[in-house]
Amino acid sequence: MEALLSANAGLAIDAKGITVHPAAMNGFDFDATDCPDLFPPLVALAAGCTGVTVIKGVSRLAHKESDRGLTLQEEFGKMGIRIELDHDLMRIYADGQVKGAKVHSRHDHRIAMACAVAALKADGDVTIEQANAVKKSYPDFFRDLKKLGGAVSLPFESFNF
């Protein structure tokens, strides 16, 4: 919630719940040292922002399903998002534009989901190789994304979940 509010994500919070409305989002700062699994969705959020996002805690990413810092840098780079890794900081430079591209999950469920979320703003198709990595934590991810209105055309129905 803190990152969304810092990015000006267009949230209205009241007693009835949270309402999300379109808003021009800006880069934000976030310390993810104690929650390294948030890096992929934070990078997906940053991809839709304008400006520089700085996330602290990169050193915690090296020993996940992939070296997530490098993987995020390489795969989001294919979508036109520049990411610099500087000691324990990740800087994401974005202009709110995501390019269509062919990316690879590196067999990492969180990378597959982050790329799919970023793809929602892409100017063309985004193909995610090994997208079925999502089965590790969220087997219905692509089905649910489609239900929410995402243009999902992956052959996820044939995945052996």
pLDDT at 65: 66
pLDDT at 154: 61
| Structural domain boundaries, residue 32 | 2-9+20-147
What digits encode the pLDDT tens for the residues 55-111?
Answer: 999 988 876 666 899 999 999 999 999 999 999 999 999 998 999 999 999 999 999
> How far apart, in Å, are the Cα atoms of 89 and each of 30, 86, 92, 107, 128?
10, 5, 10, 24, 26
> Does residue 64 form part of some domain?
yes
Asked if 121 and 145 count as a contact pair (C-beta separation under 8 A), the reply is: no
The model's pTM is 0.90
> Does residue 55 form part of some domain?
yes
> Does residue 158 form part of some domain?
no
Q: Domain count of the chain?
A: 1
> Does residue 114 form part of some domain?
yes
pLDDT at 61: 81
Nearest to 52 by CA among 96, 87, 9: 96
> Does residue 157 form part of some domain?
no
What digits encode the pLDDT tens for the residues 15-63?
Answer: 998 888 889 999 999 999 999 999 999 999 999 999 999 999 998 887 6
> How far apart, in Å, are the Cα atoms of 76 and each of 82, 89, 97, 112, 150?
7, 16, 12, 11, 19
Active-site residues: which are they? 37
> Does residue 93 form part of some domain?
yes
Give 136's contacts (C-beta < 8 A, 6+ positions apart): 65, 109
pLDDT at 13: 86
CATH number at residue 119: 3.65.10.10
Length of the chain in terms of residues written: 161
> Does residue 132 form part of some domain?
yes
pLDDT at 1: 84
pLDDT at 67: 84
- Strand 89-95 relative to strand 82-86, pairing: antiparallel
